[in-house]
Homo-oligomer: A and B are copies of this chain.
Amino acid sequence: MTTDMLLEGVHFNLEYVPLKHLGYKAAVVNFSDIYAMNGTPTQITVSLGISKRFSVEDIEALYAGIRLACERYNVDLVGGDTCASMTGLTISITCLGTAAAKDIVYRNGAKLNDLICVSGNLGTAYMGLQLLERERLANAEQPDFAGKEYLLERQLKPEARRDILESLRKAGVKPTAMMDISDGLSSELMHICSQSKVGCCIYEDKLPIDYEAAALAEEMNLNIVTCALNGGEDYELLFTCSLDDYEKLIPVDDLYIIGHITKPEYGCNLIGRNGEELPLKAQGWNAFD
């Protein structure tokens, strides 16, 4: 069971977030939380607080997004509560999921020498947000998104990585600890380490980074590694698994081994491209959390 509350002006800005996308994302981030325990999302309830400035069509667009997500992920929308709001839009979604007890993966199971893996790429949704903010502030008649559609998609319409879980099942790998990356890699990895009472070591040159995201970071004078470590909302999977599973992981698509689990006294560290050791910091930020 997982729940998320989204408040206008805090978690989303309707100036550039279409309501259908907002609905889709609000549902998918809950599904992602269930997948991150190796479960299957089954039902959601949706509660909305709606102010006068929203039309029926607006709310239909929001629900169209929620329903689309439910269809794609095979989840039933089973109820909710709709009420007036004196201020902005309020969305609260609760999701139920199922899993066989033996399949559930928690955050506290990482063991010494386990491999640390992530799916997809990191910092991309954050760069999408930077792009949206830049174009909003530029206030141009036509925002310039050419060639950067993938970044927008990652920010506005993220997907939950159930495909990765299926691949892992097929490969016969069960993670020892897992989370979805909603607040940034550093912060989630530090959660796993503190709950598992271990340390970790990850490598800068192993972090999967999208080319478009790197190019935009360069253009905006941002450090893409910092974005990959701390940018939130990627909803990729972060997990640890036994070193014995190394061979089984290799053929899995879109999956990257970025480091390994260490003794707790080592702490949580990033090894830079020049071999320097930097402690990880949990300074991630996710508007959607």
A288 to chain B, nearest CB (A): 9
* Most chain B beta-carbon contacts within 10 A, residue among A3, A11, A43: A3
A174 to chain B, nearest CB (A): 24
B49:A10 contact, CB within 8 angstroms: yes
Partner-binding segment picked from A77-85, A118-126, A204-212: A77-85
Partner-binding segment picked from A60-68, A90-98, A160-168: A90-98
Question: Is A140 interfacial (CB 8 A cutoff)?
Answer: no
Q: How many A residues have CB within 8 A of the partner chain? A: 30
Bound together, the chains give a CA A43 to CA B90 distance in angstroms of: 23
Bound together, the chains give a CA A289 to CA B88 distance in angstroms of: 18
B9:A81 contact, CB within 8 angstroms: no
Contact flags A19-52 to B (C-beta < 8 A → 1, else 0): 0000000000000000000000001010111000
Bound together, the chains give a CA A86 to CA B90 distance in angstroms of: 11
Bound together, the chains give a CA A88 to CA B85 distance in angstroms of: 10
11 interchain pairs, CB-CB under 8 A:
A1-B79, A3-B45, A5-B92, A7-B49, A9-B87, A10-B84, A11-B83, A47-B92, A87-B87, A87-B88, A92-B92
Extra contacts, 11 of them, besides A1-B43, A4-B47, A10-B49 (Cβ < 8 A), are A1-B45, A1-B78, A1-B94, A2-B45, A3-B92, A3-B94, A5-B48, A10-B84, A87-B87, A90-B92, A96-B96
Give me the 8 closest cross-chain CB pairs, A-B, nearest first.
A92-B92, A5-B47, A94-B94, A87-B87, A9-B86, A3-B45, A5-B81, A7-B49
* Chain A residues engaging chain B, CB cutoff 8 angstroms: 1-5, 7-11, 43, 45, 47-49, 78-81, 83-88, 90, 92, 94, 96, 289
